[in-house]
Structure 1
Amino acid sequence: MGTVSLVGQLFVVFLLTSYLLNKYSTIRKQNPIVTISTFIGWYFSLIIIFVLPLDVAITFFHKCETDRQRILNASLAGTPSPIIPECELPGGYVPDKVLFDLWRVVYWSAQMLTWLILPLLQSYVTAGNFTIFGKIRAAVINNALYYGIYSLCFLAILIYAMIKGVSINIENVKVILVSASNTWGLFLLVVLLGHGLVELPRSLWHHGNRHYRLRRTYFDIEKLASEKSEAEENVKEMYKRVRILFNSMKSDTNGQRRKVRTILSKFSDEIIDNLFPSRQVIDNANKEEDGGFCSEAKLISLHKKSIYAVQTLNNTTALWK
């Protein structure tokens, strides 16, 4: 019965995650890898909220059973003992092995997502390279500092463990990896919490001032409008540059025209219709710009800037709405 209840909770979490993902994202437009990674991250986070109370209740039940057995043993030995407690089995009780395996899957999946998949995926999506290998290489290079700091934490703990005489085996290395990730996570938590302890009370204090809130709202609207206008101009400029380059290429030399067409595909028809209502974009190419733009490095840089410009426009547009 408890297993059925747990499966029901997991199914409810699955439905809730699907609803939230469908509400706050465009599943049909985004990459399936992004959808799957986001779904797993949200699903496991909500599992903690739903299943943790059951785990706590089972833990208290086991503690009660242990205390009860200790009191019974003391009574059999002739030692005066208090009243023997009655332990009530919690609703939805499942064996410890089930929860242990569940938490193991949640923990290590979260570790893989946090330290490996999501950082690389984020850099992979914004990389300007045109091949899968090139995107992966760019993602690794962009996260070199991130992994470098984590590696330093790991090496420091590893050296400390070796000095203390801890044997280095698979289990101990696993513990060191967990310790390194927790150390880096706690460092970030302290930094962010230090800012929040100051900013949150100050924002709540200002929230009670109506005139301040009104002035702040005017400022935020003006700032957002300026950012949206700047993002639109940036996208217009990038699209014109890419269009000029595409029109200047009469032949697909070394696949250059195909790569430029890939860059053009980043600008959706919806964006083009909104920014260019008359559909009149520069068609005459300047031949002098051809040589400067056709190098592989220039195309990668142009591709990356185009992706960033479109993402910035989408973000500001979503905030404006």
Structure 2
Amino acid sequence: MESSSLASDIFALSALFAITLLVLLLLRHYLPLRTTPAYLLVPVFLALALPCSIILLVPIDLASASSDSSAGTTTTRGVWLPEAVVLVTWRITYWLTFMLTWFILPLLGEYCDAGYRDTRSRLIYSLRSNARYQLMYLGTGVAGLVYFVLQNGFHAASIKGLVMALAYAWGLVLAIGLMGHGLVALPRRLFRNASVSGRLRRLQAQAPKTKDSLDEATDELEDLENTVWQLKQRKHGAGRELQEWVDELADTTAIPDARPGVAAAVRATNASIPAVVTERYLADLTRKLKRARHRKARFVDEWSNLCQQAHDTQTILDSATTKKLDFGREQPGHSISILSRLALLTLTPSLRYHLHTTIIPNLRIASAVLLAAASLTVIISELVKSFAPNASLIGLTVVHHSAGTKVGFAGQLIAAAWLLYMDACALYAIADVRVWGNRALVKRQTYAESACWYSLQVAKLTVPLSFNFITMLPPDVYQQTAFYHFLGQLIDLTPLGAGFSAFFPCLLLVPVLATLFNVYGRMKKVVGFGVLEDESEENVSGFGTGGWREGKALIEREVLTRGEAGGGAARQQTSVGLASRGASLEFERRQGGTTPAAGTSTPPRRGQQRESLLPTTAARVQTANRQFNTVTNREEPLREEEDDGPKHFYQDFAERVRNTFEATERPEWISGIGNAIITPKWMANGQRDGQSGGSGSGSGSVLGRWFGGRAEDGRVRL
């Protein structure tokens, strides 16, 4: 007799509750739950919770369908549920995910991104923006429907199978490409980060690009805010509603610079403001403002995290002499998490040093080796599943053929781990590739459109990866599952769908090899998008090329700035490497109005020029500036704006030649020229009695007088 599923029900409900709690914590990390509207929070929550529940549902489905009826018992098959419950759960989960992926979240994302004020206009904008996206799939669906009708006749199952097969095909194409990249990139990143010095070098190499993006985002936001204030001054010609709209925009923007020259520059840059302000123009301006704020918040967060990671990494390297590690986060001005507080309370400086220099690097290497083996297992299983399903390595690890069942509790845990790893690789690739425009996840400040887009990708990738996973098991196992009866039969309804599902995953090898041999980077260099190497002979210092040396200087500048702002107590804990070398060009501009070193990638910003340096740090900043100029191979900072024209080129060349000769020490044989020549009395010109005219050197020598030297009595000789 079949046993009761009460224990399995309790376990499944407990796991579902845990998944719900984790999803809420994840949303709380990226979105402010109290201020986020319910129409955004609920769909995003479902788009994350339902795919996570699929990772739990697939192992339960495998155990529920793999019982051996000849054994006469089902008590040892792990967590299982009745077949009807599993089928209904699959229907609810799949169709909710389908609606969220293809209709609700795309419309909601454009609705949140619209700049209009009223709901109707925002909804019309969202429908219009998604029309082209939906029409493209509608055209593909019409072509697929013709094929389905010719193959199976016109039935309701044909339309249903067409919709599910097309959604699965598009999701599988995207999932295979992303997962192939993540299978290589994720273990490789763990292995590279095991080296503390290598991790610091990569952070420093990434700093110039991140800082440039932050400066560009800041300038873009300032330009848009200045445009809003210009509109406020010219709003009287518009209607009442438009005037209120402009006032609302002005209330949410910062007051522009009130200096006389800046106002004229703003008017010159805002020549594109139309003579008649319309609703469409204000909606477009509002949308640009929201995107610009999100972009700035994104790069502020990235820059802050990068500088903090670089500071921590450098602190680990500097602690090698004392064997004690203290990050200094207990000082005021440092925000730390709960885990960091627990670490500060439980770990001593000596134990923390061994943890970060020995234990964590070894754990990263071990994890990289383990994940590399898992990636190799997934690749082999994808390649052999179409030709020899029983030889699939994943199938051999999941199906154990234990007493009365083919998938037991251990097999369920292994299946859940495989699913989690495959999904993690695909999602890691989304964050690693970064070709998705302005979308990004920012702590507590994620843009609504970005939240919709990322949750959409999670929901879109999970179902194809889950079905692709069960096809790596033996056919007599996965063909009995409710998942296959619900989705697989419709995918295999036509030879084209069955062949696509069976052989397309073999193309996983293409993104794997492309990532393994850095084909993407080589292609960028071939087409001319690669950057200069910072170790070339033409530029030993690496400044102006976005190399790690420039990144190191930028990070030191930022950390020194934070240290000065945090006070004297925190100032001692914020040095990255040599603290005196972290003097910033920003400080240099504040003190003397100078420009950055030639070749650096960060021009002066308006907001930075308005800041002032604390008087107590003047001496330290001047000393640090001199050492920073030494790093950049400059003698003294220029006191005028840099120019890229031909005049600046020849002037710079002449200064370099002059500095070369002035810095060279003259040999003794050149200094002694003229000492052996006795000056006649008629050329002595009033020298003191008994003093030889050739006894001096420099300005008193014969050659010095002939070529414009200064006479001994102070008169200028022409």
TM-score (norm 2): 0.37
Could you tell me which residue of structure 2 aligns to residue 189 of structure 1?
175
Could you tell me which residue of structure 1 aligns to residue 53 of structure 2?
47
Distance in 1 between residues matched to 2:109 and 2:202, nearest whole Å: 32
Question: How far apart are 1:191 and its partner, in Å?
Answer: 4.3
Question: How far apart are 1:248 and its partner, in Å?
Answer: 2.8
Seen in structure 2, the aligned counterparts of structure 1 residues 50 and 134 have a Cα distance that, compared at 3 Å, is: same
Could you tell me which residue of structure 2 aligns to residue 113 of structure 1?
100
Distance in 2 between residues matched to 1:245 and 1:177, nearest whole Å: 49
**Higher mean C-alpha deviation, range 18-27 or range 247-256:** 247-256
Matched, 1:95 2:64: no
Distance in 2 between residues matched to 1:128 and 1:18, nearest whole Å: 28
Residue number among 158, 164, 173 corresponding to 1:178 in the alignment: 164
Question: How far apart are 1:117 and its partner, in Å?
Answer: 1.2
Question: How far apart are 1:244 and its partner, in Å?
Answer: 2.1
Could you tell me which residue of structure 1 aligns to residue 297 of structure 2?
314
Q: Letter of the aligned partner of 2:122 in structure 1?
A: K
Residue number among 32, 36, 56 corresponding to 2:38 in the alignment: 32
Gaps of 5+ in 1: 69-83
Seen in structure 2, the aligned counterparts of structure 1 residues 150 and 291 have a Cα distance that, compared at 3 Å, is: closer
Question: How far apart are 1:179 and its partner, in Å?
Answer: 1.1
Number of aligned residue pairs: 291
Seen in structure 2, the aligned counterparts of structure 1 residues 255 and 18 have a Cα distance that, compared at 3 Å, is: same
Seen in structure 2, the aligned counterparts of structure 1 residues 207 and 314 have a Cα distance that, compared at 3 Å, is: same
Seen in structure 2, the aligned counterparts of structure 1 residues 229 and 292 have a Cα distance that, compared at 3 Å, is: same
Seen in structure 2, the aligned counterparts of structure 1 residues 9 and 206 have a Cα distance that, compared at 3 Å, is: closer
**Higher mean C-alpha deviation, range 243-252 or range 188-197:** 188-197
Matched, 1:7 2:13: yes
Could you tell me which residue of structure 2 aligns to residue 296 of structure 1?
279
Question: How far apart are 1:265 and its partner, in Å?
Answer: 5.7
Question: How far apart are 1:201 and its partner, in Å?
Answer: 8.0
Could you tell me which residue of structure 1 aligns to residue 244 of structure 2?
258
Post-superposition CA distance 1:174-199 (Å, at most 9, x none) = 22111111122223234445655776
Instruction: Say whether the 8 Å CA contact 1:266–1:307 is kept in structure 2.
Output: no
Post-superposition CA distance 1:46-80 (Å, at most 9, x none) = 2122333222221222xx12xx0xxxxxxxxxxxx
Q: Letter of the aligned partner of 1:98 in structure 2?
A: V
Q: Letter of the aligned partner of 1:316 in structure 2?
A: F
Could you tell me which residue of structure 2 aligns to residue 76 of structure 1?
none
Distance in 1 between residues matched to 2:186 and 2:272, nearest whole Å: 51
SS at match of 2:116: coil
Could you tell me which residue of structure 1 aligns to residue 25 of structure 2?
19
Seen in structure 2, the aligned counterparts of structure 1 residues 115 and 290 have a Cα distance that, compared at 3 Å, is: closer
Question: How far apart are 1:99 and its partner, in Å?
Answer: 1.7
Instruction: Say whether the 8 Å CA contact 2:235–2:246 is kept in structure 1.
Output: no
Question: How far apart are 1:39 and its partner, in Å?
Answer: 1.0
Residue number among 97, 104, 109 corresponding to 1:122 in the alignment: 109
Seen in structure 2, the aligned counterparts of structure 1 residues 108 and 310 have a Cα distance that, compared at 3 Å, is: same
Seen in structure 2, the aligned counterparts of structure 1 residues 231 and 302 have a Cα distance that, compared at 3 Å, is: same
Instruction: Say whether the 8 Å CA contact 1:293–1:299 is kept in structure 2.
Output: no
Seen in structure 2, the aligned counterparts of structure 1 residues 168 and 263 have a Cα distance that, compared at 3 Å, is: farther
More helix by share: 1
Matched, 1:156 2:143: yes
Residue number among 197, 216, 223 corresponding to 1:230 in the alignment: 216
Question: How far apart are 1:264 and its partner, in Å?
Answer: 3.9
Could you tell me which residue of structure 2 aligns to residue 143 of structure 1?
130
Distance in 2 between residues matched to 1:13 and 1:118, nearest whole Å: 21
Identity %: 25
**Higher mean C-alpha deviation, range 155-164 or range 213-222:** 213-222
SS at match of 2:29: helix
Matched, 1:247 2:253: no
TM-score (norm 1): 0.77
**Higher mean C-alpha deviation, range 47-56 or range 212-221:** 212-221
Question: How far apart are 1:16 and its partner, in Å?
Answer: 1.9
Distance in 2 between residues matched to 1:182 and 1:265, nearest whole Å: 47
Q: Letter of the aligned partner of 1:248 in structure 2?
A: R
Instruction: Say whether the 8 Å CA contact 1:266–1:306 is kept in structure 2.
Output: no
Distance in 2 between residues matched to 1:160 and 1:266, nearest whole Å: 54
SS at match of 1:129: coil
Instruction: Say whether the 8 Å CA contact 1:13–1:47 is kept in structure 2.
Output: yes
Gaps of 5+ in 2: 1-5, 305-718
Distance in 2 between residues matched to 1:288 and 1:214, nearest whole Å: 45
Question: How far apart are 1:28 and its partner, in Å?
Answer: 2.6
Give 1 or 2 for the bigger CA radius of gyration: 2
Instruction: Say whether the 8 Å CA contact 1:153–1:184 is kept in structure 2.
Output: no
Q: Letter of the aligned partner of 2:110 in structure 1?
A: S
Instruction: Say whether the 8 Å CA contact 2:235–2:243 is kept in structure 1.
Output: yes
SS at match of 1:29: coil
Q: Letter of the aligned partner of 2:27 in structure 1?
A: L
Question: How far apart are 1:210 and its partner, in Å?
Answer: 7.4
Instruction: Say whether the 8 Å CA contact 1:157–1:176 is kept in structure 2.
Output: yes
Seen in structure 2, the aligned counterparts of structure 1 residues 234 and 85 have a Cα distance that, compared at 3 Å, is: same
Seen in structure 2, the aligned counterparts of structure 1 residues 214 and 289 have a Cα distance that, compared at 3 Å, is: closer
Distance in 2 between residues matched to 1:19 and 1:165, nearest whole Å: 47
Question: How far apart are 1:3 and its partner, in Å?
Answer: 3.0
Distance in 2 between residues matched to 1:108 and 1:117, nearest whole Å: 12
Instruction: Say whether the 8 Å CA contact 1:124–1:139 is kept in structure 2.
Output: yes
Distance in 1 between residues matched to 2:122 and 2:142, nearest whole Å: 28
